[in-house]
Amino acid sequence: MAIAIQELTPFQEVNLFLDDSADRLGLSDGLREMLRQPWRELKVQVPVRMDDGRVEVFSGYRIQHNGARGPYKGGVRYHPQADAEEVRALASLMTWKNALVNVPFGGAKGGVQCDPRQLSESELNRLTRRYTLNISHLLAPNRDIPAPDMGTNAQTMAWMMDAYGQIHGHSPAIVTGKPVELGGSLGREAATGRGVAFILQEAATDLSMDMDGIRIVIQGYGNVGSWAAQILHDSGCRIIALSDVAGGIYNPKGLDVSRIAENKIAGIGVSEYLDGEKVTNAELLELECDVLIPAAIDNVINAENASRIKTKLIAEAANHPVTFGADQILNDRGITILPDILVNAGGVTVSYFEWTQNLQEFRWEEERVNDELRKVMSKAYQAVHEKVASQGINYRQAAFDIGVGRVARAVNLRGFV
């Protein structure tokens, strides 16, 4: 059973969560199928002139999963594993996430299957421009709005905006997560990590956990993991282990997170921090702690290691870090899981604020961004928690029921079925 589950693709796994929700909501077969399949998929060739003169050809995707609630919205991932099935899964998760936090967007995701760490700055610039041109007929501020994801950042969005603008004229609302100097929102870079901290604070209160000194393990030190670590550390939590792709560091007394952040700026990896014990990424996930935050890639907690996880609470800062099989094992073991579509929704929420600022040609103060983010996240959390308490289902089931229910309602109201 466990082996069969592990063989499922990420998209099939996400659809198992969807089916579970569709059963509880009593959705018809036709409607379920509409919610399962992406509405539109585009695969493009992305040829890039490399610095040494060769041409390398990458595969690029933009998958628009569901547009019932508004323009398609979701990030673009540059990663060796970003194939069609992974991008489909991520696009589907965006649909449910955007509905759960009630931003007026459908769900989409893009990807280029490449290893961005092996590419120079100018190769990445050329790759991004070619990818943008090849998917540009799908994009528009009221059609589909990309954003950063793994392997992409504000600079990538600046190149995308520029490439799109060369055809369509200056269009800042075409992408979010841009540099602030080019119309990006204050607070966008920290937003996903800040949202993780907001959700954790709310959940800790409901689970009678004291945040002061709480022992937290974070896997991943990219945009999400690093901001979450800093914000949680500053609010009194004890970050006892952290990792990046090269490995991790563990100190039960707590890590000096600001020091690790300074190291990162200086190009020094997390595991080079001296005041702690070196651990591998696999060992880090199995450390004893109060809260485990996977903030890197998908499928890291799976049927193989789920029985060895020693935490009370998992907050999914990454997308789909816990497989369907592991989800069942962890639920049976009484470990609470706060799902990705709730925990990491802070990024797309501030993307929504950025998009509205661009459309209005107006700029918000950072304080306003953070206040509004807290309101949106808190409302979503409360709705999920209320369902958990009243229906005896888990947090993921409650979050999916709200997201899927909203999308199903929008589909029905539009009169598609």
Please report, as ranges, the residues that interact with ligand GLU according to CB under 6 A.
73-75, 147, 149, 176-177, 319, 344, 347-348, 351
Residue whose pair of structure tokens reads 């928690």 in the numeric block: 385
Cα dihedral value 5, 396, 81, 9, nearest 10: 30
Based on CB atoms, which residue is closest to ligand GLU, 95 or 394?
A: 95
CB of 58 to ligand GLU, least distance (A): 19
Q: How many CA atoms lie within 13 A of 86 on its CB side?
A: 22
Task: Pick the closer one to ligand GLU by CB: 219 or 351.
Answer: 351
Residue with tokens 């004890």: 238
CB-nearer residue toward ligand GLU: 108 or 214: 108
Helices (H), 174-279: 188-206, 223-234, 257-265
Query: Nearest approach, Cβ of 147 to ligand GLU (angstroms)?
Result: 3
Q: Least distance to ligand GLU from the beta carbon of 146, Å?
A: 7
Spatial contact of 105 and 142, defined as CB atoms under 8 Å apart: no
The rounded distance, in Å, linking the Cα atoms of 24 and 58 is: 41
CA dist 220 and 317 (Å) reads 9
Active site residues: 109
Q: Whose Cβ is closer to ligand GLU: residue 5's or residue 160's?
A: 160
Choose between 158 and 348: whose C-beta lies nearer to ligand GLU: 348
* Euclidean distance between the first and the last CA atom of the chain, given in angstroms as a whole number: 36
Beta-sheet strand order (sheet of 106-112): 40-49, 55-66, 106-112, 72-78, 144-148
Distance between CA atoms of residues 323 and 345, nearest Å: 19
Are 200 and 215 within 8 A, CB to CB? no
By beta-carbon distance, which residue lies closest to ligand GLU?
75
Amino acid at 380: A
| Helix-helix angle 366-391:84-100, to 10 degrees | 90
Nearest approach, Cβ of residue 111 and ligand GLU (Å): 11
Complex with ligand GLU: residue 35 or 147, whichever CB lies closer: 147
Residue 207 Cβ vs ligand GLU, minimum distance, rounded to whole Å: 24
Would you say 177 or 325 has its CB closer to ligand GLU? Answer: 177
CB of 48 to ligand GLU, least distance (A): 23
CA distances (Å), origin 17, targets 291, 293, 307, 357, 412: 23, 20, 20, 34, 21
The distance of closest approach from Cβ of residue 40 to ligand GLU in the complex, given in angstroms and rounded to an integer, is 17
Region of residue 187 (left: phi > 0; alpha: psi -120 to 50; beta: else): left
